[in-house]
Structure 1
Amino acid sequence: MCHLILAKLVLLSSTVVPLLMYPSGYVNLRLRTRQTHLRVLPCAQAQKRSIACAEGRLQLQSFQDVARPPERIPFITRGIIVLAAFLKPVFHVISNVTYFQASLYPTDVVLEVGPGTGNMTVKMLEKVKKVIACELDVKLAGELQKRVQGTPLANKLEIKIGDVLKSDLPFFDACVANLPYQISSPFVFKLLLHRPFFRCAVLMFQREFALRLVAKPGSPLYCRLSVNTQLLARVDHLMKVGKNNFKPPPKVESSVVRIEPRNPPPPINFQEWDGLLRIVFVRKNKTLAAVFNSNAVKKLLEKNYRIHCSQNNLEIPEDFSIGSFIQGILKDTGYAEKRARVMDIDDFISVLHGFNAKGIHFS
């Protein structure tokens, strides 16, 4: 009977991942931290069981020959195991993936939204200058305070209790958060409109929301959220987090994204910009000519146009028709037959400038 090797992989968070391997096999361990790859020869060379790397030290320990494999332990022969998939609860996923992806520095002030039990918080406190943890749950905030009380880390932690959407954000260099769906969109734009600029944010969302953030023109998920976010920031999808990484498992998948604000920001009035997008994405599959032919849209834009003319002492002809005026602008800009679902940021900028140049405003 061929005996197997039962090994334990100890991570930075002290989480132990059991592995089962053939004595002659090897496993390529890939931690999702800037594509770091580690190769371990678990049997013949004992000195290879402890590996120093940029993330710290990973150890293979407690090797034991077993004739019968224990149940519910990942069986590895040759191939890749992504460590994040075995980190439970979700706080371990965040602490070992999101934390490193955020590219933190010793001088950083980090804003953490929803610190929970503080696993990620403690890891960050060991590296950065300060962590500002925003927690809605008073009991969890108290537990976090107790966790660092009496340690050198206590002076580096500031806890803010309350709704982050209703609070003014402090100065910070980087942000990490695991956000519920209902506050995902408002929090993203609260971040992107925050000044002074932060360097980056690494955030976990429900997967569908994350995919909308990074969707490109022509994608079924492409929407106002996609365009607004990508106007103000560079957005990258980092990884998918399966339901089994949570206890209890939710009904939906999650994803981690990285957001870097564009600094300087584009020279656009965001209220004007968002007003345009709200109109064109209501019916994103229709041509702009059809979208702007709506009575509600024409009524709104005529009201704004008359205010503009009044403020600038401009006369409006008696036979003025807002519908003909709008269609003329769309024809002149070349976008009358375009559809929002396939237009990119430059297209929307051209449309906005075309309307604004003629005195039509959206806010």
Structure 2
Amino acid sequence: MITVLGLALYGPLAASNRYRLSQYVTGLAAYGIDLQISHLLGDDYLRYRFGNGSIPVDAIFSAGIDRLTKLLRKQEYDIAMVHCELFPLLPAWIECSLIRRPYIYDFDDAFYLKYHSGLMGVARPLLGRKFERVIAGAAAVTAGNRVLANYALQFNTKTHLFPSVVDTGRYLSRPAGHHGKVFTVGWIGSPSTAPFLMELVGPLSVIGKESPIRFIVIGGKAPVVPNVTVVEMEWNEHTEIDLINSFDVGVMPLPVDDWARGKCAFKLIQYMACGVPVIASPVGANSDVITDDCGLMASTPEEWVNRLRIMRDDPKKRAEMGKAGRLRVEAHYSLDTNLPVLARLIRNVVDEK
């Protein structure tokens, strides 16, 4: 049995933990691989970050000690899999020296921009090139989209495009006829990406003047949209699939910037897996995931209005796009397709060490 120490930055509440690491545990065991996941910043930290509670200093300190202890016991694992960052604010040379086994570096966001701007930008002189060095030192790299993969390839030729995927045995479309009479647009995400919804306020309001429309927002703060019934709901792992199935169309607006280009279009994959047609900004991985037969692109307010009208007025087209999207996810963005790829990569790293 191969033992892999999975070093997640965030706890199970974070989609990156669940979909980049945790969902592979059971499947990898069938390949003779024991993936043991340890996170640094737990769910209490994420609740604090999104505005609920106080910073869990004791829990973070305890998790840091636990991480250091696991890293020092190198005889207990064969390789490591580092997701995003081993320790925030720690220079690359220290991180690489702490990982005393070959490691796979995995990322699904433009983390390499973290120390380039904003509050973290003050650390740029020391940490601006941190991720270049961590990537260069990896035995292999798994990148969540083409933009991230192209970045990593500059520093490590053993870079693999490894999209974020869903378990299509769990994400299932609902039988036809379960949608309500009111045209329903839906979005799922987190408080950090909810501000992107401001792009839709104008277009949704225009559609709302023409006919009744409902806008469901899951996991983030919903904007006020004139003429539209807005429903804001908390995210829950046990209800998200049923809620996505209540959408007539799923949306993913994005700004045109380097952070957005690093996004992995995971919302779209979730919608499409449930047989829901999509509309999205043509930014980053959105353009790779969506094809003409399963969704529409919109760059301007006028295009958003036009695409929403098309979806509203043509239920048959929505159904056809939903079916095509489901097939695309099954073929390219499912756990069944990714699992053997990861198992083979892990074995290759172990064989080469």
What TM-score do the two structures reach when normalised by structure 1?
Answer: 0.24
Higher helix share: 2
Q: Which has the higher contact order (CA 8 A, sep 6+)?
A: 2
Higher strand share: 1
